[in-house]
Amino acid sequence: MISFSEIASSVHQWLNSHLSPAWVLTVEMVIVGVAAIALFALLGLVLVIMERKVAAYMQIRLGPNRVGPKGMLQSTADTVKLLVKEGITPAGADKFMFNLAPFIAMITAMLLLAPLGFAKDFQIWDLNIGVLYVTAVSSLSVIAILMAGWSSNNKYSLLGAMRSGAQIVSYELSAGLAIMTIVVLTGSLQLSEIVESQRNGWWIFKGHLPALIAFVIFIIAVTAETNRAPFDLAEAESELTAGFHTEYSGMKFALFFLAEYINVFTVCAIGATLFLGGWMPFHIGNWEGFNHVMDYIPSSIWFFGKTFFLIFVIMWFRWTFPRLRIDQLLDLEWKYLLPISMFNIILVTVIAIYHLHG
């Protein structure tokens, strides 16, 4: 069975035998860059079609079914349309910031990809402060939204951007604290070590109640952080038409759109890594046969399966719930999520001190 790590190491060996170490690094960086962009493009297409299909089935519709087999090429066609569409910059806009914002949104989404472990021993950059890096970089996305909202010179955009600012700044806290629970249990900030610590059981199972609470809070907080319904106040199309990207069109709009989906993917991947064991297969105690079968499934499938499950949950939220109001959104964070996660972190510290976890 060919695994991603084997491919990676063979490519590395082949390059080392032909080039000097400096060139090896350069070539590998280029390969990673191309692979990341390819993954993004693919993910964008897949997630858009997935969202549309999920929405359609929940709304007793068929969804896209004309382009390609069962409409699977619909998002490709849409992307082509957006690529050839004119990207208008409004006359009153701050042109430099207006054109820069979508790229910042995209770059922050891309940066988050670095520490993710896609499969066994297959990681772009296994840095020792992975969790810290993730929390730090993910909060950068608000800058892009604020920039877009401010520079559009549109009042709807401005309102959307301001909402988004308040929202992301507050939900960072509980998302961070939820991640902290796992850091406390593992004792490491390195994502590969966190995955390794779940070899004998995922944290959501062996972390007792605190891990479960942290997981629920994490899912709610990241839904808010990625501006997805029911927390999509930055867009809120029935209130602010399209919020911060009202004035964007063509590929600049598509970049925001793509960045949203990539953000959803990365936060779900982080959720899967922290709580659901990343690429670790599902094991039950001493059932040797069962565990063996589970081991046989490639680790990348495990990783993507868990991630897409979480993505589905977030889409499920979107197509079920009404939107919150801005003050209720902040209420939820400061009066419910934050106190609970603070209490939760005390609980988990007690568990960690007395080694009650497995």
- Which residues of the chain form contacts with other proteins (CB under 8 A)? 54-55, 57-62, 155-156, 159, 163, 229-230, 232, 236-241, 316-317, 319-328, 336
CA distance 120 to 303: 9
Helix (H, G, I), strand (E, B), or coil: what is residue 130?
helix
Instruction: Pick the closer one to other proteins by CB: 163 or 283.
Output: 163
Residue 63 C-beta: closest distance to other proteins, Å: 9
Instruction: Pick the closer one to other proteins by CB: 176 or 230.
Output: 230
Residue 329 C-beta: closest distance to other proteins, Å: 10
Residue 68 C-beta: closest distance to other proteins, Å: 16
Write the CA distances from 291 to 5, 285, 288, 294, integer angstroms. 22, 8, 5, 5
Helix (H, G, I), strand (E, B), or coil: what is residue 114?
coil
Instruction: Pick the closer one to other proteins by CB: 113 or 337.
Output: 337
Residue 245 C-beta: closest distance to other proteins, Å: 15
CA distance 349 to 211: 11
Residue 254 C-beta: closest distance to other proteins, Å: 21
Tell me which H or E stretch contains 178.
helix 155-186
Instruction: Pick the closer one to other proteins by CB: 290 or 343.
Output: 343
Residue 200 has phi, psi (to 5 degrees) of: -100, 20
Instruction: Pick the closer one to other proteins by CB: 165 or 298.
Output: 165
> How is the chain split among helix, strand and coil, in percent rounded to 5?
70, 0, 30
Residue 219 C-beta: closest distance to other proteins, Å: 12
Instruction: Pick the closer one to other proteins by CB: 205 or 319.
Output: 319
CA distance 144 to 173: 19
Q: Give the CA count within 13 Å in the CB-facing half-sphere of 131.
A: 24
